Amino acid sequence: MQGIIEYQEIDAKLRKLEGELRSSTNRKNAGEMQQYLKDGQAKLVKLETLAKTITEQYNQATALYNEFINKLETLVKEVEKSDASSAESLGATLSKLSATAENLDAHIGALQNKIVSINKEVENLMNNAKKAKHNLDIYKANYNKEKEKVEPEIAKLKAELEVVKKKTKPELLAKYLSKSEGKVFPVFVSAVNGNKCGGCRMEISAGKMSVLKDKGFIECENCGRIIYFDK
């Protein structure tokens, strides 16, 4: 039993160091910057697609507007040359064309505003992306320093685990690895107050206590930890 307890003690130190690295503020911030850049890139692609669509609409509207202006100019000349009987009819047509041209002009103006707005948004995205990339480099550099600082100790603990593993009973090691992978930690706990699980403090039945004293360890029916009898 001593072998697996020693293994668990070393593993606890290793988990603590690795946990500190995982919860590092620099690591967290670097991850957020990476996600921001990823989201920004996706948004940029959408904006570029939208800008292309609106530009096409703008070109079409401008071409149509120019066409109507040409028609208006021609119609104005016809009105000027027409007699009174046809002037009224031409005037009505001229009025409709003028209204359509005004609507097209307003539509073109709205499309221009959209294009300007998209260009500003793209510019902001690019500027923010530069800042995010700069911050990402700083966070990554700081995290790498943290990592480099503890890597020797992590390597040392892993080497110690390999040494202790060789003198640990395979049955106990298998139980330990199986349960520790399922996030149960610590896996092995001693019985406390004579008849309680050292993990969840659930009382151990008389029958289970008998098995514990005879076999040396049992599995807690409540939390799943391995309870050992610390003689």
Q: Which tens digits make up the pLDDT trace of 13-39? A: 999 999 999 999 999 999 999 999 999
Beta strand pairing call for 226-228 and 188-190: parallel
pLDDT at 129 over 90: yes
- Name the DSSP letter for residue 201: -
Tell me how long the chain is: 231
Strand order of the sheet with strand 188-190?
188-190, 226-228, 217-219
87 pLDDT band, cuts 50/70/90, is: low
- Contact in structure between 197 and 220 (CB atoms under 8 Å): yes
User: Is the CB of residue 187 less than 8 Å from the CB of residue 30?
Assistant: no
From CA 220, how far away is CA 202, in angstroms rounded?
A: 8
Phi–psi pair at 22, nearest 5 degrees: -65, -35
Predicted pLDDT at 158: 96
What pLDDT shows up at residue 83?
65
Q: Give yes or no for residue 215 having a pLDDT over 70.
A: yes
**What radius of gyration do the chain's Cα atoms show?**
39
Q: What is the pLDDT of residue 77?
A: 78
For 149-208, the pLDDT digits (tens) are: 999 999 999 999 999 999 899 989 998 998 888 778 999 999 988 889 999 999 999 999
| Interatomic CA distance for residues 188 and 176, integer angstroms | 8
What whole-number distance in Å separates Cα of residue 146 and Cα of residue 18?
A: 11
Q: What is the pLDDT of residue 89?
A: 72
Residue 139: exposed, middle, or buried by beta-carbon count in 10 A (0-12, 13-18, 19+)? Answer: buried
Q: What is the pLDDT of residues 132-154, one digit of tens each?
A: 999 999 999 999 999 999 999 99
- 168 close to 7: Cβ distance less than 8 angstroms: yes
Q: What is the DSSP letter of 219?
A: E
Query: Per-residue pLDDT averaged across 67-77, rounded?
Result: 81
Question: Which pTM value belongs to this model?
Answer: 0.72
Please, where are the H alpha helices in the chain? 2-22, 25-81, 84-165, 170-181, 206-215
pLDDT of residue 96: 81
Lowest mean pLDDT among 7-16, 95-104, 128-137, 153-162: 95-104
Report CA-CA distances (Å) from 28 to 19, 62, 129: 13, 50, 18
The answer to whether 132 and 37 are in contact (CB under 8 A) is yes
| pLDDT at position 97 | 78
